[in-house]
Structure 1
Amino acid sequence: MTQSDIGLIGLGTMGAMLALNIAEQGFAIAVWNRTTDVTHRFAKTAGDLAPRITPTDSLKGLVAALKTPRAIILMVPAGQAVDDQIAALTPLLDDGDLIIDAGNANFRDTNRRSAAAAQGGPQFMGIGVSGGEQGARHGPSIMGGGRAQDWARLEPVLHAIAAKYQGTPCATWMGEAGAGHFVKAVHNGIEYADMQMIAEVYGVMRDGMAMPAPAISAVLDGWNAGPLQSYLIEISAAVTAVTDAKTNAPLIDIILDRAGQKGTGRWTVIEAQHLSAPIPVIEAAVMARNTSARLDERLRGQAAFGAAPQPLPPSTLEVADLEAAMIAGKILCYAQGFALITAASTEFGWALPLPDIAKVWREGCIIRSSMLNDMATALADDPARNLMLAPFFADHLKNTHHALRKVVATAALHGLPVPALASGLAWFDMMRTGRSTANMIQAQRDFFGAHGFERLDGGADHHGPWAMNG
């Protein structure tokens, strides 16, 4: 039997698509799923790619089907399932073999698993894979973590299957241990925020401007030809254009307004708090996702207080205002995301390559957009500078922040919820305020806890007279 180049465990949607991608790029792949019928059904439906796919009925069979040193990709749910799979594989593998977790793992779990692998046995690495089903099949964005030598060993496969931006693979090694999964988590946090901001301007058009879904679709389609060109704007235009076959109404109008989540956005927010890195746009998006789940409670609130959204008077806002507000919000969101990555790079000693991260996100992933190429350039010019201060993006903000303020203020006056856009505006104003109000907080902390404060004049008295009075 000809042995395979690589193995894969887990033939759910993402695993199956990734396996086909690997086979299509010319690599022989052995696969195993805990439900044997799934394994054989997958191999039988692989069409022209079937000769490169070896279905196996057991972990021992999978291991035996691989060339040495072996490399096995895990595409199983995050958490205990990964630990269980590692435990089952370890006795069957040699020290030079490699287990790769390509699921949505918490980077702290990846750190733990990497540290355990360093003590002996097969090696371990975690890679973030973004792009959904189509990305997995035709080219995802890949964010690698683990030992550099393990990445180098797997790089030919990962570069081959990754999305390409003008011929360059969107797959890069980010750093040791959980670096790749951390970057993937930030990607997902930005994804939450991007989606939420689009939903907010959709809400302004729907509830404030009384625009029907087809008209909203046309607006979004127009935006996709400009600075906001992105996968998420593209699909938002697509979903608002679809008519439901059963009701003949716009499909978007009969979709329940309760959004699910898998927790990666929440992980991003939690880590940002640990790292003291402000990401208010992402935090607001996670909050909005959580609030959407409280449908019964929201309906009781509407019954008690009346519906919040009110129609806007004619000509209060123009579509161009919404576009400019979205441009400003997007820049602020990404600036926060990259600042979080910078904080993690310092905290964990990863030396995360910011320009390369922006490049990896240019194709294949959910947040891919034309703006990321300019972000890669700005980050290469000065990785330590906040992205909002890079000349290209500073000029964009100077031209668009007034529209963001107008949209947020108008929405607030008419009960149209725009939490992500509003949070972006508040952060922008704080970041351009040289004399903040934190002096009051310093005084309060000194009054009740004698925490002391710094003086503008550099004087030696670091407590107020109230401290002596208890």
Structure 2
Amino acid sequence: MLFPLGHKPSNENQQTRMLKMQIAMIGLGKMGSNMTRRLAAGGATVFGFDVSAETRTQLAAEHANIRSFDSVASLIAEMPSPRVVWMMLPAGEISETMFGELTALMAPGDLIIDGANAMYKDSQRHAKELNALGFKFMDAGVSGGVWGLANGYTIMIGGEKDAFAMAEPFVKILAPASDRGWIHAGPAGSGHYVKMVHNGIEYGMMQAFAEGFALLEAKKELNLDLAEVAETWRHGSVIRSWLLDLTADTLKNDTKLDDIQPFVPDSGEGRWTVLEAVELGVPAPVIAASLFQRYTTQGKGDYVAKLLSMMRNAFGGHHVAKK
């Protein structure tokens, strides 16, 4: 809650509410910057840090509720305890380094939220390590992409109840509405586990749409209007979805996609979902196939194709295409 210039909170409860609406955002990339904007618009004061001076300065100039800092140390020093710090950094080495920096600067009782697409087992480890030092920890899976600023983010968060009590006001601002689009999924690791499976499902859905429209495009004699088909499916069809909406918008502008390279990265979460399916003995053939198809687009299937061609030549004398 923000107060007019010169106004003082009239009692301790107001002071407490005001402090609860202060949050730090470490990492102001595409997701972190838009989450910062949504938090600020929702009434929170956001203390922002990014390695890019241009990014943090520009963001602070957009809204009075956003304050930028040129170092994590200066940011933490300015925030009163108990602090809530939300990290939106790439999972892995960068995040691990930031955990070390934050724990050296913060105080027991402060909360660190990891919003990266991190492996849930790493989040369980972080919870144990941070709790042993007196810090609170939550892992947050965040979905919504570049549309989250306007539409809200789906938040899947894990950790102890007392930690969630500190995070809850901010989760409700970030979500599509205060009463939906977010879940306190369970103990530490559960937020990233739910987000991992979410992304695995996303892989499968995207692959199904891509294959379906490829079949439509390949039937040249029917001269199908792919953009019109996509638009038709959006209304009343059992496969209508936000992914279909985005696909329809893409095809409306360009059905041939001639300028697009057939290369699709994988973020890691689809891979972890398949590994988890193997460990649990749960069949997940669609998600697994969609993951392997992404490897194919990355050229990782080239050797497989070459060897298949040589096998056909060996047993049947079939022609081998050369570069």
Q: Does the alignment reach a TM-score above 0.5?
A: yes
Q: Which aligned pairs between 1:389-400 and structure 2 lie closer than 5 A?
A: none
Cα distance per residue 1:383-433 (max 9 Å; x no partner)? xxxxxxxxxxxxxxxxxxxxxxxxxxxxxxxxxxxxxxxxxxxxxxxxxxx
Correspondence list, 1:39-188, <5 A: 39-44=56-61, 46=62, 50-136=63-149, 138-164=151-177, 168-188=179-199
Partner deviation per Cα, 1:183-236 (whole Å, 9 max, x = no partner): 000000000000000011111111145565x71121121111122221111111
- Report how far residue 64 of structure 1 moved: 2.4
1:257 paired residue among 248, 257, 262: 262
- Describe the shift of the 1:150–1:295 C-alpha distance in structure 2 as closer, same or farther (beyond 3 A): closer
Compared CA separation, residues 287 and 211, structure 1 to 2 (3 A): farther
Instruction: For residue 257 of structure 2, give the secondary structure of its aligned residue in structure 1.
Output: helix
Aligned to 1:19: 36
Please tell me whether the aligned partners of residues 115 and 141 of structure 2 are also in contact (alpha carbons under 8 angstroms): yes
Aligned to 2:273: 268
The answer for the alignment partner of 1:286 in structure 2 is: 291
Instruction: Tell me the alpha carbon deviations over residues 280-309 of structure 1, each in whole angstroms, 9 at most, x when there is no partner.
Output: 1101111111112228939976x959xxxx
Structure 1 stretches of at least 4 aligned residues deviating more than 6 Å after TM superposition = 1-4
Residue from 188, 207, 210 that aligns with 1:196: 207
Separation in 1, partners of 2:256, 2:105 = 50
TM (normalized to structure 1)?
0.58
User: CA contact under 8 A between 1:160 and 1:169: conserved in structure 2?
Assistant: no
Q: 2:46 aligned with 1:29, yes or no?
A: yes
Q: 1:144 to 1:94 in 2, by over 3 A?
A: same
The whole-number CA distance in structure 1 between the counterparts of 2:160 and 2:148 is 25
Change (3 A) 1:235 1:12: same
Contact 2:157 2:183 in 1 (8 A): yes
1:282, 1:211 → 2: CA distance? 31
CA distance in 2, matches of 1:185, 1:9: 22
Partner-residue secondary structure (3-state), 1:241? helix
Higher mean displacement: 58-67 or 203-212:
203-212
1:138–1:161 Cα contact (<8 Å) kept: no
When structure 1 is superposed on structure 2, of 88-97 and 128-137 the one drifting more is 128-137
- 1:228 and 2:239 matched: yes
Mapped partners of 1:208, 1:78: distance in 2: 42
Higher relative contact order (CA 8 A, sep 6+): 1
Distance 2:34 2:117 in 1: 16
| Contact 1:18/1:137, CA 8 A, preserved across alignment | no
Q: Distance in 2 between matches of 1:12 and 1:265?
A: 22
**In structure 2, C-alpha distance between the alignment counterparts of 1:189 and 1:237, rounded to whole Å:** 22
- Report the equivalent of 2:317: none
What is the letter of the counterpart of residue 113 of structure 1? H
Residue 152 of structure 1 and its aligned partner are, at CA, apart by 2.1
Counterpart of 1:242, as a letter, is: N
Percent identity at matched positions?
32
The one-letter code matched in structure 1 to 2:227 is S
- Cα deviation, residue 72, structure 1: 0.4
- Per-residue CA deviation, residues 152-171 of structure 1 (Å, 9 max, x unaligned), is 2211211122013xx73201
Q: Partner letter of residue 173 of structure 2?
A: A
Deviation (angstroms), 1:29: 0.7
- Give the Å deviation of 1:132: 0.5
How far apart, CA to CA, are the structure 2 residues paired with 1:268 and 1:211? Answer: 39
- The alpha-carbon distance between structure 1 residues 76 and 169, as it changes in their structure 2 partners (threshold 3 A), is same
* 2:253 counterpart SS class: coil
Q: What secondary structure does 2:226 align onto? A: helix
In the alignment, the residues of structure 1 paired with residue 232 and residue 52 of structure 2 have an alpha-carbon distance, to the nearest angstrom, of 46
Query: Residues 229 and 296 (structure 1 numbering): CA distance in 2 closer, same or farther, change over 3 Å?
Result: closer
Change (3 A) 1:16 1:195: same
Q: For 1:295 and 1:120, how far apart are their aligned partners in 2?
A: 43
Larger CA deviation: 218-227 vs 290-299? 290-299
**Aligned pairs, number:** 292
Q: List alignment gaps of at least 5 residues for structure 1.
A: 244-249, 306-470
Q: CA deviation at 1:137?
A: 5.3
Correspondence list, 1:229-378, <5 A = 229-243=240-254, 250-294=255-299, 297=302
Equivalent residues of 2:38, 2:173 under 8 A apart: no
Q: Secondary structure at the match of 1:84?
A: helix
Counterparts of 2:96 and 2:222, CA distance in 1: 50
CA contact (8 A) 2:138 2:188 kept: yes
Residue 216 (structure 2) pairs with residue 205 (structure 1): yes
Report the 3-state secondary structure (helix = DSSP H, G, I; strand = E; otherwise coil) of the residue aligned with 1:254. coil
TM-score w.r.t. structure 2 length? 0.84
User: Which residue number corresponds to residue 10 of structure 2?
Assistant: none
Structure 2: tracts of 5 or more residues without a match: 6-17, 311-323
Q: Which of the two has higher C-alpha Rg?
A: 1
Aligned partners of 1:210, 1:271: CA distance in 2, in Å?
A: 44
> Quick check: 2:184–2:191 contact (8 Å CA) kept in 1?
yes
Alignment RMSD (CA, Å): 2.5
